[in-house]
Amino acid sequence: MPTRRLSIYDAQSLSVGERMREVVITHHGGPDVLEERQRLTPDPASGEVRIRVKACGVNFADVLARMDLFPDAPKPPMVPGYEVSGYVDAIGPGPTRHEMGRHVVALTRFGGYADCVIVPAEFVWGVPQNLSHNEAASIPVNYLTASVALYRMAGLKSGEWVLIHGAGGGVGIAAIQLSRLRRATVVGTASAAKHNALRSLGIDHVIDYRTADVEAEVARITNGRGVDVVLDPLGGENLIKSYRMLAPLGRLVSYGAQDMVGGQHRIVVRSLHTLWQMPRFNPVDLMNDNKGVFGLNLGHLWEERRFLSGAMEALLTDFAGGRLKAVVSKTFPLGRAADAHRFLQDRANVGKVVLTV
């Protein structure tokens, strides 16, 4: 796969100073707790690579971390950010497959909201020439999540039906594209303003969950059979509805509790209510219903490096071949990370929100 290398213009920008910029969650709260700071640029250790960041993906998990609704996040002060695109500008001592100046995309598990980040060498991949920095930074979290859910867990087959909740979000659009690659029929839920955009991205049926009874609509569209796979990032009582919409032999993948978040600020009662409403699935019921339920947390697959790397390489091959297309909804400069969070929480995005450096 041909990848892009550093231009003279970019190479000159690498020599600017020893200090790096990063955006810190100073304490838990609303978007205003995000603050830009500077510190000395660190050097990579053996097995690590330093990336000069050009673009960083913003994820809903960053919003949850800021609001103290994401148990996996370190305590503040912490730098959020799970994925970046940029250039390799330092490589730790020892043998490596990486090259200085190569255009790369990386999974970062925190620290991505910065102009420089150090990551394990296994989580750095060359970017196909046909992708911009913003497009590349949109890929890792959304497409890996959708790919693990659909291909690995649910084992989606050609001709099957998929229901994707939050179809207009980053994971939702990745899931639409991956489902279509498998020749599945795609039903999605999204607010009405996003329907036209989703149709142009190839969704077969889209339901406005704010005004329609989603279960009744899915029953109507599938002639009462239900769907083979449901992707559910909502959690709470929605999960039991998702389970009910499965046809026999159906698979449900639960990967979020998005209903915990209502507006820009944390409402403890709402969060507890969502968690309280999460169903406890009983193996006897699963057996009698011939249905399966998976839980997915990409962050907890961090040690499965060979698996994640193989999945990411397969995705990048599909991007290089034009079979997948990253959809960037809006970009914000790094220093306006708070506005990027507001935009995401207002649910204004169709696709990915990206911070540019």
Ligand X SMILES: NC(=O)c1ccc[n+]([C@@H]2O[C@H](COP(=O)([O-])OP(=O)(O)OC[C@H]3O[C@@H](n4cnc5c(N)ncnc54)[C@H](OP(=O)(O)O)[C@@H]3O)[C@@H](O)[C@H]2O)c1
| Residue 169 lies near ligand X (rule: CB under 6 A) | yes
> Which among 77, 61, 69, 63 has a CA at the least distance from the CA of 27?
77
Question: Three-class SS of residue 17?
Answer: coil
Interface map 224-263 toward ligand X (x if CB under 6 A): ---------xx--------------------xx-xx-x--
| Residue 349 lies near ligand X (rule: CB under 6 A) | yes
- Nearer to ligand X by Cβ, of 5 and 273: the residue is 273
| Residue 80 lies near ligand X (rule: CB under 6 A) | no
One of 6, 44, 59, 338 touching ligand X (CB under 6 A)? 59
CB count in 10 Å sphere of residue 21 = 17
**Residues 60, 170: Cα–Cα separation, whole Å:** 9
- Nearer to ligand X by Cβ, of 6 and 230: the residue is 230
| Residue 168 lies near ligand X (rule: CB under 6 A) | yes
Helix, strand, coil abundance in the chain, percent, nearest 5: 35, 25, 40
Interface map 13-52 toward ligand X (x if CB under 6 A): ----------------------------------------
> CA 269: distance to chain centroid?
26
- Nearer to ligand X by Cβ, of 87 and 255: the residue is 255
- Nearer to ligand X by Cβ, of 6 and 245: the residue is 245
| Residue 170 lies near ligand X (rule: CB under 6 A) | yes
Rounded to the nearest 10°, the torsion over CA 233, 236, 242, 243 is: 120
| Residue 112 lies near ligand X (rule: CB under 6 A) | no
Residue ranges in the chain assigned as alpha helix (H):
8-13, 60-66, 133-137, 140-147, 170-181, 195-200, 214-221, 238-244, 268-277, 283-289, 305-320, 337-345
Nearest-approach distance from CB 126 to ligand X, in angstroms: 23
- Nearer to ligand X by Cβ, of 79 and 207: the residue is 207
One of 66, 133, 194, 205 touching ligand X (CB under 6 A)? 194
Interface map 125-154 toward ligand X (x if CB under 6 A): ----------------xx--x---------
Nearest-approach distance from CB 67 to ligand X, in angstroms: 12
- Nearer to ligand X by Cβ, of 4 and 266: the residue is 266
| Residue 298 lies near ligand X (rule: CB under 6 A) | yes
> CA 129: distance to chain centroid?
22
Q: State the DSSP string of 79-147.
A: ---SEEEEEEEEE-SS--S--TTBEEEEE-SS--SBSEEEEEGGGEEEPBTT--HHHHHTSHHHHHHHH
| Residue 344 lies near ligand X (rule: CB under 6 A) | yes
| Residue 217 lies near ligand X (rule: CB under 6 A) | no
**Residues 27, 331: Cα–Cα separation, whole Å:** 24
- Nearer to ligand X by Cβ, of 115 and 259: the residue is 259
- Nearer to ligand X by Cβ, of 117 and 149: the residue is 149
The residue at minimum Cβ distance from ligand X is: 169
Nearest-approach distance from CB 190 to ligand X, in angstroms: 4
**Residues 187-194: contacts with CB under 8 Å, at least 24 apart:** 187/161, 187/162, 187/163, 187/218, 187/221, 187/222, 187/227, 188/163, 188/164, 189/163, 189/164, 189/165, 189/214, 190/166, 191/347, 194/167, 194/168, 194/350
Residues found near ligand X in the complex (CB under 6 A) = 59-61, 141-142, 145, 166, 168-172, 190-191, 194, 233-234, 255-256, 258-259, 261, 296-298, 344, 347, 349
